[in-house]
A = this chain, B = another copy of it.
Amino acid sequence: MNLELMGQKAKAAAYQLASLTAQQKNQLLMAIADKLDEKAADILQANQLDVADALEQQLSAALIDRLTLTVERLADIANDVRKVCQLSDPIGQVVDGGQLDSGLKIERRRVPLGVVAIIYEARPNVTIDVATLCLKTGNAAILRGGKETFRTNAQTVSVIQQALVQQGLPIEAVQAIEDPDRQWVSQLLKLDKYVDMLIPRGGAGLHKLCREQSTIPVITGGIGVCHLYIDEMMNTEQAINVVVNAKKQRPSACNSLETLLIHQAQLTAFLPDFIARMEQEGITLHVDSALLSHPAFSGREYAPVTDAAYRDEWLSLDLNVKAVESLVEAVEHIREYGTQHSDGILTENYHHAQVFVDQVDSAAVYVNASTRFTDGGQFGLGAEVAVSTQKLHARGPMGLEALTTYKWICWGQNTLRD
């Protein structure tokens, strides 16, 4: 394998993809969806071998579930590709424009980024999802999947490449780094000559590696230490319902709740019902040491929350609970311990809602709602490449537009600058 050559060919393919019409790109996606149905047996067989390995290596049940494909799941993936065809193509859109003082006519036109590299973990659907979103926006993709699904990924990439060839397009429009050796990741991170954007989709370690080592612009995100703050003016029952939804609707998601902050004036009214409901829902509380002495917690055993636990995702039915003296203290806690992903306030006070929204510096800020809405589908983007928690280029859920850039086009009549 020669990554330099891979980059070079991806760039050449990207130039071809950039000039495709929306119709041509949709035809390609339909061919991929059909080919996925046609080759389902091969893909499922490869997946069974991956799953067998995972069982042998005694990986966690959650991980094995994530990497397992079934006939239904594969059909859903193919149908998702067909749905991407329905989305409007952002390429070619004129963002703004006009006429300059010199008479030069100017427009800002949306164009593909070029080559997008994605490093992701053991989710076989990501290969198809990400590759089709890149193709829809006229980008070439270099994929590096998790080693747990190498056989499945090889099959799905082969399906995409067959569809590319069938449509008369360069096979290098979608390439995968299939050798699990970590050296290829290190090399990929330095390929800025050819790769225009790098998206790591994985844990905090992968994001740190990319931020530190990559010479390609990186979109970091996907790590969500999300908070809800229960303000002093708030209905207890409704607050508890939102907390349960934010924690339990899908605990493994990055937008699920990790830490609940409660205004001290609410404690006596709120805690008894809250503790009972958490027990009933099977949610394990981790209680701030200063709060443990509250009578509502007496008679039970709770481990105090460590500073490190406030900074980490639980991704399980565990929840940190802390009392704060004020809205200001809640905002300060979120600034210090949050990951700028999704944070919310539950309040009946208009002014407090406005202050929270202004002062909490997160990709998504909620008033009286579950944090679970931070998602490309929910936000109406039609698709999601990743969730960014940095501030450049794209913030929060990234849809098709985040896979584009723009160029300035100037139409003159042999126009000179004075």
Binding site for B on A (CB under 8 A): 15, 18-19, 98, 100, 102, 104, 106, 111, 113-114, 192, 196-197, 211-212, 215, 217-219, 235, 238-239, 241-242, 245, 249, 335, 344, 346, 357-359, 361-370, 372-374, 378-380, 390-393, 395-397, 405-417
B373 x A104 contact (CB < 8 A):
yes
B379–A408 touching, CB < 8 Å: yes
| A293 to B390 Cα, complex, angstroms | 55
Asked if B391 and A197 sit within 8 Å, CB to CB, the answer is yes
Q: List 17 A-B contacts (CB under 8 A).
A: A15-B335, A15-B361, A98-B380, A217-B217, A238-B414, A241-B414, A242-B415, A245-B416, A364-B408, A366-B410, A368-B411, A369-B412, A370-B412, A373-B417, A378-B417, A392-B392, A397-B408
Cβ contact within 8 Å between B114 and A367: no
Nearest CB of chain B from residue A269's CB, rounded to whole Å: 17
CA distance A196 to B365 in the complex (A): 19
Q: Is the CB of B369 within 8 A of A415?
A: yes
Name the prevailing secondary structure of the A interface residues: mixed
Known: A211-B215, A359-B19, A390-B217. A412 touches B197 (CB 8 A): no
Query: Which of B372, B395, B408 is A407 in contact with, Cβ under 8 Å?
Result: B395
Q: Name A374's closest neighbour in chain B (CB-CB).
A: B408
**Interface contact B369-A113, CB-CB below 8 Å:** no
How far, in angstroms, from A218 to B218 measured CA to CA in the complex? 10
Question: A355 — nearest CB in chain B belongs to which residue?
Answer: B19
Work out how many copies of this chain go into the complex.
Answer: 2
Q: Given A100-B378, A405-B392, are A18 and B416 neighbors across the interface (CB < 8 Å)? A: no
Q: Are B215 and A368 in contact (CB under 8 A)?
A: no
* Chain B contacts for A412, CB-based, 8 A: 366-370
Q: Whose C-beta in chain B lies nearest to the C-beta of A19?
A: B358
Query: How far does the alpha carbon of A217 sit from the alpha carbon of B214 in the complex, in Å?
Result: 11
A239 CB contacts on chain B under 8 angstroms: 414
Query: Are the CB atoms of B410 and A369 closer together than 8 Å?
Result: yes
Given contacts A102-B378, A414-B242, contact A407 B364 (CB under 8 A): yes
Given contacts A113-B391, A393-B392, contact A102 B407 (CB under 8 A): no
Closest CB-CB distance, A200 to chain B, in whole Å? 14
Complex CA gap A196/B362 in Å reads 13
Most chain B beta-carbon contacts within 10 A, residue among A211, A241, A367, A397 = A367
CA A215 – CA B111 in complex, angstroms?
27
A394 to B391, CA, bound (A): 12
**Interchain CB contact (< 8 A) of A369 among B104, B249, B335:** B104
Q: A192: nearest residue on chain B (CB-CB)? A: B211
- Nearest-neighbour CB distance to chain B for A129, whole angstroms, equals 21
Tell me which residues across on chain B come within 8 A of A114, comparing CB atoms: 361, 391
Query: A275 → chain B, closest Cβ, in Å?
Result: 20
Q: Indicate the member of A212, A249, A359, A405 with the most B CB atoms within 10 Å.
A: A405
The interface residues of chain B lying within 8 Å CB-to-CB of A359 are: 15, 18-19
Q: Which residues of B contact A366 (CB under 8 A)?
A: 409-410, 412
Other A-B pairs beyond A15-B335, A249-B417, A362-B407, 18, CB < 8 Å: A18-B359, A19-B358, A19-B359, A100-B379, A197-B392, A211-B215, A217-B391, A219-B392, A239-B414, A242-B414, A242-B415, A249-B416, A368-B413, A369-B411, A373-B417, A392-B392, A395-B407, A396-B407
A238: chain B residues within 8 A (beta carbon)? 414
Q: Which 3 A-B pairs have the closest CB atoms?
A: A369-B412, A391-B405, A372-B417
**A193 vs B364: C-alpha distance when bound (angstroms):** 19
A416 touches B358 (CB 8 A): no
Task: Write the nearest CB–CB distance from A12 to chain B, whole angstroms.
Answer: 10
Minimal Cβ-Cβ distance residue in B for A96: B380
Distance in angstroms between the alpha carbons of A98 and B335 in the assembled complex: 27
